[in-house]
């Protein structure tokens, strides 16, 4: 049985309630200035890689599980994730002392798989196309428990939206925010929060050229399917837009900036060199987008969504041998 949420909406009140639920359970990450003389504006970083699991996913997973009826958690939880939501759900499941299973795509990096195991959860690896179907149908045969959708869940989105509240509190005069685009849950939450209190702020998505369905979809005014090619940017991107996310994303996102693998690798290296921030591919994409100038030259916040990157990949990026 498919249980898609056809109409997802998140209010400012939902996000403020999420902020109360997860207060003390997540880090209130700072805004850090990124100094780059060649850029005429001001760039700030929101380093969600500093969360205990290395990504923003702790927020959405925590809010969804805290908001759930306790009876639904008795048999445990499961999710479908390339690694970061997996860790968010596993972390919270461990805190609640309930079992957790994660369905992962076959290209999930070893560092994320090791983290899933370290947090006490089990994972099942399947081909990417089959994994995407789990996200679409919210089902996987043989697993009981509450399915925590990594993207299209109002409580997950509200939890993600707490990032937006913090950004506005710390930099009320901001002009634009750039958010990595995977399935739309992060950018929708952040945009819902920011546009509720600062409607003039521009919201830009950052996508990798090997898996960028949002840019052509926004241009066409309807979801467009693209070719998906796996790369070191494993934490975001797909071949299409989740149908239930399109109404929300298309209303909230002003534009998507598509980046080459080379530009994202350069941004990851810059983050390490300038701010000593370790970012994975998705996390580095927002800075890469800012440096193109396509988001303007005002006060721009780049959400560094996560830092869970294999050491071997990071070494190659820093040495200039991966793209």
Which amino acids are annotated catalytic?
A: 57, 319
Report d(CA 244, CA 6) in Å as an integer: 5
- Residue 54: CB atoms within 10 A of its CB come to 26
Tell me if 186 sits within 8 A of 218, measured CB to CB. Answer: no
Q: Which helix (H) or strand (E) holds 157?
A: helix 154-170
Burial track 215-228 (b if 16+ CB lie within 10 A, e otherwise): bbbbeeeebbebeb
Task: Count CA within 13 A, CB hemisphere, residue 285.
Answer: 32
Phi, psi values for residue 86, rounded to 5°: -55, -45
Report d(CA 23, CA 186) in Å as an integer: 18
- Residue 196: CB atoms within 10 A of its CB come to 18
Q: In sequence order, which ranges of 198-254 are alpha helices (DSSP H)?
A: 214-220, 246-252
Secondary structure class of 8 (helix, strand, coil): coil
- Residue 7: CB atoms within 10 A of its CB come to 8
Tell me if 131 sits within 8 A of 105, measured CB to CB. Answer: yes
Report d(CA 284, CA 265) in Å as an integer: 7
């Amino acid at each position: 049985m498919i249980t898609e949420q056809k109409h997802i909406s998140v209010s400012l009140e939902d996000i403020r309630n999420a902020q109360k639920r997860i207060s003390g359970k997540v880090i209130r990450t700072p805004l850090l200035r990124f100094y780059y003389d060649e850029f005429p504006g001001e760039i700030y970083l929101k380093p969600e890689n500093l969360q205990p699991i290395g990504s923003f996913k702790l927020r959405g997973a925590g809010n969804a599980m805290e908001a759930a009826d306790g009876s639904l958690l008795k048999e445990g939880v499961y999710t479908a994730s390339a690694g970061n939501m997996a860790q968010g759900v596993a972390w919270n499941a461990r805190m609640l002392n309930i079992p957790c299973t994660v369905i992962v795509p076959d290209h999930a990096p070893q560092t994320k798989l090791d983290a899933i195991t370290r947090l006490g959860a089990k994972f099942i690896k399947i081909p990417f196309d089959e994994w995407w179907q789990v996200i679409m149908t919210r089902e996987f045969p043989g697993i009981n428990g509450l399915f925590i959708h990594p993207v299209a869940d109002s409580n997950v989105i509200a939890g993600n939206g707490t990032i937006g509240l913090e950004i506005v509190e710390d930099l009320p005069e901001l002009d634009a925010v750039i958010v990595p685009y995977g399935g739309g849950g992060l950018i929708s939450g952040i945009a819902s929060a920011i546009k509720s209190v600062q409607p003039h702020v521009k919201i830009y998505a950052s996508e990798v050229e090997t898996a960028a369905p949002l840019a052509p979809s926004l241009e066409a005014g309807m979801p467009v399917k693209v070719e998906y090619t796996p790369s070191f940017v494993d934490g975001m991107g797909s071949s299409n837009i989740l149908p239930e996310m399109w109404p929300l994303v298309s209303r909230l996102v002003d534009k998507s900036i598509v980046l080459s693998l080379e530009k994202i690798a350069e941004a990851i290296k810059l983050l390490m060199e300038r701010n000593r921030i370790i970012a994975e591919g998705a996390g580095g994409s927002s800075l890469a987008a800012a440096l193109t100038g396509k988001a303007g030259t005002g006060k721009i916040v780049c959400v560094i969504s996560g830092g869970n990157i294999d050491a071997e990949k990071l070494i190659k990026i820093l040495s200039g041998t991966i793209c």
